[in-house]
Homo-oligomer: A and B are copies of this chain.
């Protein structure tokens, strides 16, 4: 999307809050130094956050020879945020304070055949109700609920345009949820949620360009470019899982052949195992989680079949990640989601070697490849961050000054 001055102010507002969350208490001078923004801009943004009670004044620090400097900190109890991770096999919900600490969790299983929109909505509603009750938070204090659903979503209309695993098409998910949940709702997908979680709290913090590779049932790449989430023109950037690495290769669930996901998604890995050793005890035919867990145990025990499956998977994964390194030239590639977590450091070590064999030397030399350092569910955290961003954006709109230009052809919103 084209960046406007308004986008820049929004990005600055996020950046200041990120810094305060990361380093509370802090002074306006420190914030100016850390963000490169002027002290005047910092003062305005801090004022907005204080008005909203997202942060509070917490005293003064001495500055060498100068006036004491006022300190601000996150007002952790200033509100609550909820993140919802709707996945193929579960709905996971977490409630956070404004420092993004988890106060309550709830999980519901989504069994095969229970994936009608109404069924999923009832799982979400139950789990959201549960975390609010557990945390003992007043409803009025919930600033928003971020909802992540796999596949392609239209944020503006709150529609799940296409969720391949459930064959959902044009499901008006936010409309359905609004019937049961009274808080402001924000819809997006797990690629973008986990990318934003890394940008705010994980391995992409303070980095300009980062690629967050999600390895789960579906696979994809959340893109942080110029220190901001890259959405593309219709919020569907990052569909790395459906880029081709084997022309005319395996059939993918998207209907095309040879996609990255057909080899490195959980079902792709299961297919590789089945092709290699159809009777393997590692294989739990209807259970991706159990199969990947068995593979991870097998790798630790030096089971030759498990090692071979991971090696074959890494061959595709290394090629696909090398493509991302060559295209984006990022500072860091972060491996996220449950398959990456289950296979852990041994996977990452093999991936690093495989990427180094395939990527060009110059971008390779500039890129780190790491496992996500976020200890909780990054998709819940990222979804809650979307709710936080939404709350900040609505402040910005309330405080917006009317334009001073006397524009004739202006179509942009007032800034």
A residues near B (Cβ < 8 Å) are 1-6, 8, 11, 29-30, 32-34, 36-40, 63, 66, 152, 161-162, 206-209, 221, 223, 225-228, 230-240, 242-247, 249, 254, 256, 315-316, 319-320, 322-323, 326-331, 358, 360-363, 365-367, 403-410, 412, 415
Contact, CB under 8 Å: B358 / A409: no
Assess A225 versus B236: contact at CB under 8 Å? Given A33-B405, A254-B360, A326-B243: no
Contact, CB under 8 Å: A358 / B256: yes
In the assembled complex, 20 residue pairs joining A and B whose CB atoms fall closer than 8 Å, in A order, are A2-B206, A2-B226, A30-B409, A33-B410, A34-B409, A36-B415, A38-B403, A38-B404, A66-B406, A209-B230, A225-B225, A225-B226, A231-B329, A232-B330, A234-B366, A236-B326, A238-B329, A246-B247, A247-B315, A256-B358
Q: Which of B2, B32, B230, B240 is the one whose CB lies under 8 Å from A405? A: B32
Copies of this chain present in the complex amount to 2
Contact, CB under 8 Å: A233 / B33: no
Complex alpha-carbon distance, A330 and B236, angstroms: 9
Complex alpha-carbon distance, A238 and B323, angstroms: 10
Complex alpha-carbon distance, A251 and B280, angstroms: 36
Distance in angstroms from A38 CB to nearest chain B CB is 6
Chain B residues in 8 Å Cβ range of A161? 362
Contact, CB under 8 Å: B39 / A404: yes
Q: Which residue of B lies closest to A30 (CB)?
A: B408
Chain B residues in 8 Å Cβ range of A408? 29-30, 33
Complex alpha-carbon distance, A207 and B207, angstroms: 25
Contact, CB under 8 Å: A29 / B327: no
Contact, CB under 8 Å: B405 / A29: yes
Contact, CB under 8 Å: A3 / B227: yes
Contact, CB under 8 Å: B362 / A233: no
Chain B residues in 8 Å Cβ range of A415? 36, 38
Contact, CB under 8 Å: A243 / B323: yes
Distance in angstroms from A226 CB to nearest chain B CB is 5
Q: Which residue of B lies closest to A358 (CB)?
A: B256
Complex alpha-carbon distance, A152 and B249, angstroms: 31
Contact, CB under 8 Å: A6 / B330: no
Contact, CB under 8 Å: B239 / A363: yes
Contact, CB under 8 Å: A3 / B226: yes
Q: Which residue of B lies closest to A315 (CB)?
A: B247
Contact, CB under 8 Å: B405 / A233: no
Contact, CB under 8 Å: B237 / A329: yes
Chain B residues in 8 Å Cβ range of A247? 245-246, 249, 315-316, 319
Contact, CB under 8 Å: B36 / A6: yes
Complex alpha-carbon distance, A254 and B240, angstroms: 23
Chain B residues in 8 Å Cβ range of A40? 404
Assess A36 versus B410: contact at CB under 8 Å? Given A2-B227, A244-B245, A360-B242: yes
Q: Which of B232, B410, B412 is the one whose CB lies under 8 Å from A329? A: B232
Most chain B C-beta atoms within 10 Å of own C-beta, residue among A40, A232, A249: A232
Contact, CB under 8 Å: B5 / A36: yes
Complex alpha-carbon distance, A40 and B363, angstroms: 40
Q: Which of B33, B234, B244 is the one whose CB lies under 8 Å from A407? A: B33
Q: Which residue of B lies closest to A246 (CB)?
A: B247
